[in-house]
Structure 1
């Protein structure tokens, strides 16, 4: 599948600083490349940055099929089409699962792997409320405020609603639509099941960048990380949850700065 993306070319005011190569960012479930503008602009100090819309998200095509394996194949096609060599791959949540699966099944391709707040294991599809908040008919709604009020009946957290609404698009006639393939994602409830059942391991330098209070990471995950990724280290952002690239952005970007400066 040909994926939509945005490119942030390498630009650094220091003429002595060379690009460390290409960087690819993979968003999480219900996200898109739009969630990563600030991070991508920051990372363009180190290399050219591609923010990708994965299948059924953003401006990329919709499909009835949605799995980590297929998204990994989409990424392989993207890297081949854009002639990208040894990229740094940053993946958040679902995008982190895709990034880890890709690395384990494509040894030697990546320069570095950065995984945000997810572990190489199965996860439940615990997003019924989010799906419901995007499943009512949008006919008759004339503003985002009206839609937000209806969504609040299902999702009380305004941060999550605002995150979801980044995929809410207004048509030329004033009506609204979801860019997300909401129905397709609703029918892909096993997307996070039994992904890492093989005995492959990776030597790719890997950073697990974790929220210190994230519900997505449990103590037993550290051993699983070490099992699959032999050359990894872990950094926790104290007080952080699942969206540390937004909620703890200053600290998050400083960690990336230190991590990539070491490789540049």
Structure 2
């Protein structure tokens, strides 16, 4: 996987969500880098990382572990948002002796129903060969029914190359793997280390019905809610989110 790193100290790996990139958690990365070695990854099929046709959580967690081995990390902390939170939790379950703590931002260890059909449709229908500006793509996505915040987030993936505009993410690969990304096949596994769920107060990604799934799979789970935020809680109230994450990691030093 492509990755960016900054800072020194204990390592914290930051994992973005679906349609994102390493830049999505850059604000948190800068905040943590004064005390930690921060590694921000491009998940496969995103950013500058390789394109995959299969994206099971077993394969994604193995990719995180292989990155740890490449960086010669015996242990690290994991922080992930949305899909990245699922990758973080799956990695902690698969390699518990290597993970000192895990933070899942606005995501639960459960199977979700499909909820990105409109996004995939809007992205596929974007007339890339006809674009002369990024604003045209933005207006197209909004015209397809996406809210402006989501549309602005998505066009961060729009890259202008020598042949014109193109999506940096592997859109077809993501759609092919989508059923695996909303699934959660590791519900029988447990991670007994420190774990935190940070949810947006206005989001429906983490609900009361998910409590038992957290407790059974992550017995030490703690939770924090950031009022007045939705699924993009780290972008809506970054100061509060950054402080919550830093405080949690600081209470669980690598032994």
Q: Tell me the TM-score range normalised by the shorter chain.
A: over 0.9
State the number of aligned residues: 252
Checking the alignment, whether the CA contact within 8 Å between 1:87 and 1:109 is kept in structure 2 is yes
Give the structure with the larger helix fraction. Answer: 2
State the distance in 2 between where 1:70 and 1:151 align: 31
C-alpha RMSD of matched pairs (Å): 1.5
Structure 1: runs of 5 or more not aligned: 11-18
1:16 maps to what in 2? none
Report the equivalent of 1:6: 4
Aligned partner of 2:167 among 162, 178, 187? 178
Equivalent position SS for 2:45: coil
Residues 78-157 of structure 1 correspond to what in structure 2 (within 5 A)? 78-136=67-125, 137-157=127-147
Choose which of 20, 38, 60 in structure 2 pairs with 1:71.
60
Aligned to 1:160: 150
- For residue 27 of structure 1, what is the aligned residue in structure 2? 16
CA contact (8 A) 2:101 2:249 kept: no
Query: How far 1:85 sits from its partner (Å)?
Result: 2.1
Mapped to 2, the partners of 1:111 and 1:258 lie a distance apart of 14
Q: TM-score when scaled to structure 1?
A: 0.90
The Cα shift of 1:193 comes to 4.8
Q: What's the CA shift for 1:198?
A: 4.7
Runs of 4+ displaced beyond 3 Å? none
1:211 paired with 2:200, answer yes
Structure 1 residues 66 and 262: CA distance shift in structure 2, 3 A: closer
Q: Quick one: structure 1 residues 219 and 248, their matched pair in 2 at CA, closer, same or farther if it must change by over 3 Å?
A: same
Q: Is the contact between residue 76 and residue 100 of structure 2 (CA under 8 Å) also seen in structure 1?
A: yes
> Counterparts of 1:197 and 1:87 in 2: how far apart (Å)?
21
2:224 corresponds to which residue?
Answer: 235
Contact in 2 for aligned 1:34/1:166 (Cα 8 Å): no
